[in-house]
Structure 1
C-alpha cells in the first residue's frame, strides 16, 4: 500500500477493533442481564431478537466509518502538505533570489511566479542587471579613454625623445604600437620624396614580419594597400585578409592574420608615411581612432624632422661654403701679414730696444763699465742717487770711487771674476755718494759679451733700497735687543716650535734639542689647557694677548711669566707664525702670593674683629637699654622729687656741676620774681648780684664751677630779685653725686621779721 492509504487502513483497523469490543460488551451485558452464561448456543439464541442484528451491524458500520474518516483526514493532510511544500518552494526561491542579489549576481534565470515577493525581486534583478550593464559599459568607456590617454602620453614621450633619429623613431613606434594595440605584426613605411622623380615608400621598421615576405623594403607610390591608403589619405580596415597577403610564423607553425589596419601618417594634408598593423582579433573602434591620432602626431613629428634635416643640411652647406671662403681669405691674409711682418720686424725690434732702454732708465739705476772698471755710461737716475749733477763728473772714472774703503777688498774679488767672464753678481751692494753718504742698492752686475764670446763691457743695474736697508737694520737691532732683554720664541699657528733664543732655553730648563720636540701646548697643564686653547685661537685670529701665565717647565716645575703673544702675517695677510715674548716674574709672583696669603689672614682677622665688634655692640646695646631703663627709673624718681619739692614752701633750685639751673620751684619763682622758663637752663649767677658773688665766699663757691662748695651748711646770704632788690635769705646746699657727676640743690628760706 502507498503512504497515502496508511491513515485509512489505520482508521479501518481501529473501527474493526472498536466494533468487536463494543459488540462483545453489549452481548455480554445482555447475557448477564438475563443471567445466562456466555456460550455459543446462548449467543445464537439471542439472535432471535431482530434488534440484535442491528448490534451485529456494528462490524460493518464502524470499520466503514473508520475507513472513510481515514480517507477524509488523508485528504486534508495531503492538502496541507501540498500547501506547505508550495510555501517552502516559494521561500526557497525567494531565498535563492535574495542570495544571488546580495552576492551581486544578476545573471541567474528564474521563471515568473504569481508570488508578489518573487515578482518584485525579479523586477529588482532586472533593474540591477540593467545598472550593471550600464556600469560595465561606462567602465569600459572609461578604460578605453584612459587607455587612449595613457597611450597618447606614452607615444608623445617616444616622439619627443627620438625625433633626431628617424630609423630609431620608426622602430620604437611600430614595436610599441603593436604591443600596445595587441597587433601581431606591423610595418612602418616612410615616404622618401627627396627625389621628385622617384617618390616611393621605404620600410624603415617592422615587427614580427616573415623575412621572405619583406625581402624588398620599397613600395612605389600608389602600390598595394599601403600605396592606396597613402594616395586616398584614408584609413583602410580589412577584416577579410587574402590568404597569401602575409603569414605570421611562430614556434607553433604558420597562421594568416584575420584583420588588417593601414593608417596614413598625415599632417597638414600631406602624407609622410604609412603604418600597417595586422591581428588575429578585430580592432575595436577606439583602437582604430587611437592609431589615427598617433598617426597624426607621428606625421607632425616626421614633418618637423624632415624640416630640421633640410635646415641642418642647408646650414651645413652654408657653413662649408663659408669655411672655404674663410680659408681662402685666411691664406691671403697670412701672405700679406708675412710680407708686412718681414718689413716691420726690424723697426719693431729697434722700437722695443729703445722702449726697454727708456723703461730701464726710468726705473733702475744703470751704468756701464769696461773690463778695467772705467765708467762708460751712467743714466740720470745713477747721477741723481749718487748726488752728481752731470755725466762729466763720473764718466772716465774708476768704479772704486763709488765703493767704500772697507768694502773694496771683497768687491775687488767680485769684479775680477766678472772681468774674466765669470758668473754675474746679484745682491745687496753699498755705494758711496759724492757727499759721502751710504747708498744701499739691490744690484746686478752682468757681463755683456761680443760676437766672439769675450767680455765687451759690464752692465750695472740696481734699485735704491737705502730706506729699506736702514729699516731692516733698525729691525735687526731691535730684535737683537729683544733677544738680549726678553725670553723669545716663535711657533707655527698649529703650536709647533720654530725657533727661540737662549733665554727661552734657560727659562724652561730644557736643552735646545728637547725644546725642538715640544709644542707650545706642552707647557700648560690639563687644567689650564682649555683656557689656553681659547687664548691661542684668539691670537691666531688676530687678537694679541698680554698677561701673566703659569707655565710648566722641566721636571713639572711651575714658573710665572709676563707673556705677550702676537701673530706675524706674511705678504698675503695670512698668519705665518706666532711671536712669544716673556719675562720671568716667578719671584714677583711668589711675593704676590705671600702678600695675598697675608691679606687673606688679615681679612680673616678683620672678619673676626668685626664679629667681636658686633658682639660688643650687642652687649653695649643691651647695657644702653638697661641704662635707659635705669634713667627712666631715675627720671621717674626725679619727677616725684620735683613734684615733692614743687609743693615746698621754701624756695628750692637745682643746678648741675657747671652751674646750669635744672629745677626752679614755685616758691623760688615768687622769691626771685622770675618765671621758671626764664631761668631753667641759665647759669645760676643770674640770681645773685655780682658784688655779692665777689664778696660772699659761700655764694662765690656756689656759682663757680669746679670749686669746693659749702655743702650741709646753712648760711645767711643776699639774693637779687628780678626787680633788682636785695633780699636776705637762709640757704642750705646739698650735693648728690652719681658716677662722679654732681647735682647741687639749694634750699632757700626767706628771712621775715615779725612785729608783735
Structure 2
C-alpha cells in the first residue's frame, strides 16, 4: 500500500498562507487606495488648471463631495480586510480537512504496518469513525483470537504428540527388554524419569512366590541421570507403596513431607515437591508400583501418560512371569525377522528417495540450461569514474539491484552495492583498476537495495582515453544468483550420495569412468585395477546374458532397480541392491550410466539363515504350545489359591482394625520412618484431626516443636533412627489441632518383621479434677 508522502509539507504551506493572506490583502488594498486617491486628486486639480500643492489640496476639499471620495477610498482597505478574512476561514477549513485526512492515513498506515509485521498486540483508538480503521482493528482482533486459538491447539497437539511418542518409545522398551526383569525395570524407570522430568524414581516389583512373604522389592532406582543401587523392601500394605497397591489406584501428592524422600546431588541436598505413586496392574492384579518424585508439579496429561505406561508395564510383567522361558526362542526369531523387515524397508525407502533426488536433479539441470540460454545476450551494465562514482546504469542493472530509476544510483559510490564483508578485498581490485591495472573477471556478489545478495559473473574493464589514461571503468555482468544456489545444492546432493551409497560411472559400452571410495572398498580393487575392468567383468558367464539385456534397456533409457549378485575380487560373491540409470548430455544422447548400490550381502545370508531357523522354530512352537497349556493350568490353580489366601488375610486385617477402632483409648500406628498408618476414632476425638488428614503424614504433626525438644520420650518416638522407649507408660504433652496442649499417658509397643519396625502407641487422657 502506498500513501501520500506530502501531507506534512502541504499542511505547513496551508497554515502559512492562512496566517499571511489577510495582511497581504490589506497591504495591497492600502497601496492601491493611496495610488487611486493620488491619481483622482491629481486629475481633479489638472481639470481646474491647478498645480499639485498642499494648499490646492486643502482648497479642493472645501467642497464636501471630495470628503465622500476620501471615504470611498477608505472603504477599499476595509473590503480587502473582509475578503482576506473570508478566504482565511476557507483555507483554515480546508487545512483542518487535510489534517484530519492525513491523521487518518497515518493511523491506517500504522495499523497496516503492525499487521504486515505480524504484530497484533498494538493499541489503537477504538472510537474512530473511519470505517477502514474499524475494519483493520476488527481484522487485528480476529488475527489475535486466531493466534491465541492456534497457541492452544499447538499446545494440545504437542501434548498429544508427546504422549503418542512416549507410548511408542516405551512400547519399544517393553518389547526389547521383556526377557530380563532387572534390565527392563531400570530401562523403564530411567527413561520415564527423563521423559516426564522427574528427578528420582523407583521401580518396586511384587514378590509373591512365597505365600507367607508377600512384599515389594526395589529392583531399580534412578536419580539425577544416574543409576542407584539401593536395596529396599516394602511390605504389602505398608506406606504409600502398599496403599497404592492395595487400593489399585494412583496416588499424587503435591505437598510432600520434608522427611519423606531426600534427593542428593553434587550441589547439595533438597526435597522434591511432588510425588506420584502408580500401581502396575493388569486384569485387576497388581504386579508392582512406580514411585516418581519431582521438583515441579506433574501436569495431568503426564499423570495420565504414566498410568497408561503402568498398565502396559503390568501387562508385560504378567506375560514375562508366565512365558519368560517358553518365549525366549520365539522372541529371538521375531526380533531377527523384524530387523530384516526393517532393513528391507529402509533399503526400499533409500532407493525411492535416491530416485526422487535423481529426477529432481535432472529437472533442475534442464531448468538451469533454459535459464542460461534466455539471458545469454542480456547483460547488466554500468559505468564508473576512477573514483568509483557511478555515472550510468542500464535498466537491467536497476531491475536486478531493485532500484526504480537511475537517479537513485547515479552519483553514488560503488561501495553502496558491495557487502561490508567483501569491501576489503574488493578495494584492492578497484585500486588496481583505477591505476590502469588488469581487468577483473569472475564471480562477484552485490547487495541490492533491499539487502539481498545478487551473484553475478562480472567483468570490470578500464576504458582508456587518447593519452592512455583511465577515463572510466566499465562493468558488465550476468545474473548467476540462481545458478549459484543450484550449484551449492548439487554439490550437497553429490556429497550426500557419495557418503551414503556405493557409486560408479560407466560408459554406454560398459567401460569404467569413475567411482567413489565406497565402491573400491566394497569390490576390493584398487583404482588402478578397476580402471582396467568393465561392468560386465563383475558377472559370471551364467549371469552375463541376462545382465547384457538389462544393460541395453538402461542404455535405451529404461532405469533398473533391483537386487543383483556380483563377483568381486578373489571371485567372492556379493549381493547388492542396485540402481542403474542413464545420464544424457545436452543433445539428449546417453553420456554415461550411473550405478548406485547398497551392499546387502549380510541380509541375503541372513535370509537363508532365518529360513532354516524358521523351520526349527515351527517345531519348537508346537512344543511350546503344549508346555504353555500345562503352565496355564498350574497358573489358574495358583491364582485360585492366592485369591483364597488374600481373602483370609483381608478378614484377619479387618478384624484387627475393628478391634483397635472400637477401643476407648486413642491408638495410632507408625512405621519406622514416623509415617502414621492407623488412627482410631478415640485418637480423632483427642487430637481433633480427621483420620484422612493424618494417615500418611509424619507423627510430628501431633506434637509441637517445644514438646519434642523438651521431652526425651517424645523426641525418641517422633525422630527416626533414635531408640524408642518401649513398654513403659509415660506422662507426656500433646498438641491438638486447635493448638491446645493436653496431658496424657502413653505406652509404646514395637512389632518387628524382617527387621522392619512398626510402632503402636496407646494414649489415655488424664482427667483433671477441679476443686
TM-score range, shorter chain: 0.3 to 0.5
Considering Cα pairs closer than 8 Å and 6+ residues apart, tell me whether 1 or 2 has the greater RCO. Answer: 2
TM-score calculated relative to the size of structure 2: 0.36
Greater C-alpha radius of gyration = 1
